[in-house]
Chains A and B, each alone.
Chain A
Amino acid sequence: AQSVTQPDIHITVSEGASLELRCNYSYGATPYLFWYVQSPGQGLQLLLKYFSGDTLVQGIKGFEAEFKRSQSSFNLRKPSVHWSDAAEYFCAVVLFSGGYNKLIFGAGTRLAVHP
């Protein structure tokens, strides 16, 4: 079955350090992939998306992600983390199945940033 896996539930990094959040998907065709961020008590904000084309995607707030078909991955990266990046990050994929389309989310990765 199609799914999205975020292997890391919690990650802690120091401010200024680099960041990589992992996302693996299980899907036969080329997926529509998204990364969202959620601050406490807030809705989700889109960071970036991949539909096709260049496999390295630039997003807002200095984030980027790379689509690797061979590894079924869409990892999110940032070269230097700021304290304001502390939040929960969700990877998502659009599932096309039996006439139904829906956005499937991973379990999320909670990011803590140490000063």
Chain B
Amino acid sequence: KAGVTQTPRYLIKTRGQQVTLSCSPISGHRSVSWYQQTPGQGLQFLFEYFSETQRNKGNFPGRFSGRQFSNSRSEMNVSTLELGDSALYLCASSLNKVSDTQYFGPGTRLTVL
């Protein structure tokens, strides 16, 4: 069974731009969670989607948004990029719940200049 895939793997943007990241979960997994990883703040939960609805969210500003499609694929969008948004963005999928084992993708490395 294929693992979680994320595209693109690397991105370079400038301040003020917006960016969209994509995540394809493991087949049969319906829950997709997104995390931001930075050296200073570590791994922080952004939000979780299930059945095309945001079910859980972390403490990030509204510039961070996401969506999930009927095939469980998910996208994350960051608008009006700031330098501090430079991070590794990780996507994880699980069968149904956040408490189910989450399987992580390789991440998208976003650099904001």
Interface residues of A (CB under 8 A from B): 32, 34, 36, 41-46, 49, 51, 90, 94, 96, 100-108
Contact = CB atoms under 8 A, between A and B. Distances in A.
Given A90-B43, A100-B57, A107-B42, A44 B98 contact: no
Contacts of B45: 102-104
B104 A100 contact: no
Nearest to A32: B99
A94 B48 CA distance: 13
A101 B56 CA distance: 6
Interface of B: 4, 33, 35, 42-45, 48, 55-58, 90, 92, 97-99, 101-107
Given A32-B99, A90-B43, A102 B104 contact: no
B102 A103 contact: yes
Given A105-B42, A108-B42, A43 B105 contact: yes
Contacts of A49: 101
12 contacts: A43-B105, A44-B92, A46-B101, A49-B101, A51-B99, A94-B98, A101-B48, A103-B98, A103-B102, A105-B35, A105-B44, A106-B42
Contacts of B90: 43-44
A28 B94 CA distance: 25
